[in-house]
Structure formats: C-alpha cells, structure tokens
Structure 1
Amino acid sequence: MARRYFTLALLTEGRSDQWFLCPVIDRQVAALACEGAVGFDYSGVVTGECFTVAPRDSVVREVRELLRYFDIVLIHHDHNERGKAEAVREALAAYAARIVPLVPVRETEAWMLTDLEALREATPMQDTAWQVPHDVERVADPKAILNDALGRRRDAERDFDRLGQTVCLESLAKVSAYRPWVCDLRAAMEQQRFL
C-alpha cells in the first residue's frame, strides 16, 4: 500500500510566532510519526496568509480555504485571544475535528524559556547566568525574560527559529498548555488515519 502524504497548515498571531512554532511543529509531527504504524510522508507545516489577530470572519474564511488543501489546520492564539480558535471551530463545525487550537497560557515566548541549553545555543555570546523559571507559563512577562536572555538585540526574533529547532520536545511536553495541542493533533491525525 502506498504511503499517504500528510499536509498541515498554521495560522499564527504574528511572524515571530511562526519562526518558533514552524520548526517545533515539524519536529513534533516527526515524533508523532514514530509512534504510528501506518507511516506517511510530510514535508513541513505551511503558514497561512492571514494572521489570527485579523477579524474573526477573515480568519474563518482563511481556515475554510486552507481546509480545501490541507488535512489539518492549526490555529495559534495567545491568552488574550483564547476564544477565537474555538469560535472558528464553531463556525466551521463540520470540520472542527481538523482544526486544532494551539494556545499558550500567556504567550508563545514562555515556551521558548523551557530549555536552558537551547537558549544558550541560540545566544552563544551572552552571559546565561540567569535561571529558566520553573513554571514558564506563570511568568507575567515572558517576552521581557526572553529579551534579557537574547541580549535585548534589536532583531531578537531571528533567534526564535533556532530555538524552535533546538528546544527539547521533552521539556516542552512538561508545559501544561503544550500537551493539549499535541493530544488534539494526535487525535486529529488518528481520525484521518495517519496514526
């Protein structure tokens, strides 16, 4: 039997989220693929054209269009837009099983703080004497801590891709809001018989 091709799209709040989440998602899909007996081909997540901070109707239209071409669509929001992903799923109820919310407790930047070694690799010239918070999702301002870790460079977002490529998935799995989207992604992939 021929292997199937798995396609995945992502809508995020902004580009800096994409730079971190795209490599993390690709690595997580590869990890899930190792769990399955079916096997599939996958060439990486594709980002949509609009950001999820756009008006809800625009996001619904974008997701509807993406569902024509992709098996699953991930919708990223930070805490202040938490209900929008569920509203999109409700608006597209017939496809809700193929729409997976990806929502941190506060901000995606908190997830970037989970692995001290990955932070050291992303900032080899920085003094990393500071400590990674025990519960990164309780940090009131993860962007400020991340900026300190990255040396407050003007374009620190460039390091987000490197963090996404190197952050330990096991460390991310300990983060409370990370686990649900992985479980939802696994369930959506199982429903479509990719796992």
Structure 2
Amino acid sequence: MTVRVLFLSEGSSDQGLVAHVEGIAADQGVPVTVSAPDLRWLRLPAGHSVADKLRTTRDLDGHYDLAVIQRDADNGPPEVRRTEIAEAVRAEWPGLAHVPVVPVRMLEAWLLLDEQAIREVAGNPRGRVPLDLPKPGAVERISDPKQRLKETLAKASGCKGRRLSELHQRFPRNRHRLLGLLDRDGPVGEIPSWRTFVSDLTVALNGF
C-alpha cells in the first residue's frame, strides 16, 4: 500500500519538510506519495488557520490517508498547537489520521545547528569567523530563532553594505535551502520537538 500523505505547512518556505517526510517514510520502508498544495492563490479566510486549510483541501476533493500538519509553537507550549491541530482535523476532516509538526518556538530553531550548511547557504563555505551556534539542548529556548538565524547567516557571509542588504532580502530562499540541507542524522536529532515529529510520523506510517 502506498500511503497518500497531505502536507500542510504554516508558510510556503516550510514546504522543504516534504523531503524529510519522504525520507522518514523511506527509512521505515513505507511507500508514500506526498502532496503539498500551494493554497496561497485561494482566498482563504483571515488567519489562514489549520481549519481553513483543511476545509479548502477537502473541498478540492483530495483523497488522503494521512495529514502531516506543521504549526510553530511560537510563544506558547507545543501542546496548545497539537490540540489546535487535532481539533481542526476532528471538525473539518473527521477520521483523517494526522501527525502534528510543532517546532519550538519556530522552525528556524531546527536550522541553527549545522555550521557547514549555514556557511554554504551564506555563500562563504570556507569562512572561519566563529558563529557561536547554540547547543541542541538550548536552541528551543532562544526567544526569536528567526532573527538569530538571520544574524548568523549575516555573520557567516562576511557581507557588508549593499551585499548584506541583498543577503537579508534572500532570507526566505536561504531558509528554504537550509531546510532542504537539514541532516536528519545530525544535531537536529537532539532537539525534542524534532524527535517528537519523527516518532509521531514513524508510528503513524507503521499503522498502515
């Protein structure tokens, strides 16, 4: 059986997680097809909530066995987002199996640990300036991982002036590249929210 997976991300740049969903499934020997519809062109209600996205996707007559739904914890406990996702699925698509993906506080925290990937994406792979990257056990306590990632990419690049401004403008694209380069066997495996995601997805996939 090929498991039909619906992936719903918080933002378009989070869709790099699709490759990791596919990779985790391959590790388990479970064949999957993953669909990640781009809903930006549709007129969703204000807020673009999980419920809105589920309702829209369901109305497009999609047929899926499992939904993988990403929602950053932001400033609240991850359990709040997990409950939000579960309630949205129950209300909008009863009976659909789902896996919540809840980075703490933001997905950028998962991207702050791989020094070589950061230097590569910053365009200065042989740079030597210390980046002072956080330890895996502390990265989820950073108050603003997105800003920290922007600052780290800037430091790694060595850019100044106009080149630095251009680097900042490329942040969404660079973030997407970093997500694609994320090593599932690397330091991210020490982050509790990543481990929970992998564990939940593994259990769900092995249930088919």
User: TM-score under structure 1 normalisation?
Assistant: 0.77
Counterparts of residues 166-181 of structure 1 (less than 5 Å):
166-170=181-185, 171-181=187-197
- Report SS of the residue matched to 1:49: coil
Q: Does 1:74 align with 2:74?
A: no
Q: Does 1:111 align with 2:110?
A: yes
Q: Residue 182 of structure 1 aligns to which amino acid in structure 2? A: V
Structure index of larger Rg: 2
Q: 1:154 to 1:174 in 2, by over 3 A?
A: same
Q: Does 1:12 align with 2:13?
A: no
- Report SS of the residue matched to 2:7: strand
**Larger mean Cα displacement after TM superposition, 60-69 or 152-161:** 60-69
2:170 alignment partner, one of 150, 155, 158:
155
Q: Does 1:21 align with 2:17?
A: yes
Aligned-pair Cα RMSD in Å: 2.8
Which residue does the alignment assign to 1:164? Answer: 179
Which residue does the alignment assign to 2:56? Answer: 62
Query: Paired residues, what number?
Result: 181
**Larger mean Cα displacement after TM superposition, 107-116 or 53-62:** 53-62
> 1:44: Cα distance to partner?
4.7
Which residue does the alignment assign to 2:86? Answer: 86
* Preserved contact between residue 7 and residue 34 of structure 2 (Cα < 8 Å): no
**Larger mean Cα displacement after TM superposition, 167-176 or 100-109:** 167-176
- Return the alpha-carbon distance in structure 2 between the equivalents of residues 34 and 70 of structure 1: 21
Q: Does 1:146 align with 2:140?
A: no
Q: 1:157 to 1:103 in 2, by over 3 A?
A: same
Q: 1:117 to 1:35 in 2, by over 3 A?
A: same
**Larger mean Cα displacement after TM superposition, 113-122 or 60-69:** 60-69
- Return the alpha-carbon distance in structure 1 between the equivalents of residues 193 and 22 of structure 2: 17
Can you give the 5+ residue segments of structure 2 that lack an aligned partner in the other structure? 75-79, 155-166
Counterparts of residues 14-53 of structure 1 (less than 5 Å):
14-18=11-15, 20-22=16-18, 26-36=19-29, 40=31, 42=32, 44-49=34-39, 53=47
- Return the alpha-carbon distance in structure 2 between the equivalents of residues 184 and 76 of structure 1: 13
- Report SS of the residue matched to 1:75: strand
Can you give the 5+ residue segments of structure 1 that lack an aligned partner in the other structure? none
Q: Residue 71 of structure 1 aligns to which amino acid in structure 2? A: D
User: TM-score under structure 2 normalisation?
Assistant: 0.73
> 1:54: Cα distance to partner?
1.6
Q: 1:140 to 1:47 in 2, by over 3 A?
A: same
* Preserved contact between residue 54 and residue 93 of structure 2 (Cα < 8 Å): no
Q: Using the aligned pairs only, state the percent identity.
A: 27
- Report SS of the residue matched to 2:124: coil
Q: 1:184 to 1:92 in 2, by over 3 A?
A: farther
Q: Residue 106 of structure 1 aligns to which amino acid in structure 2? A: R
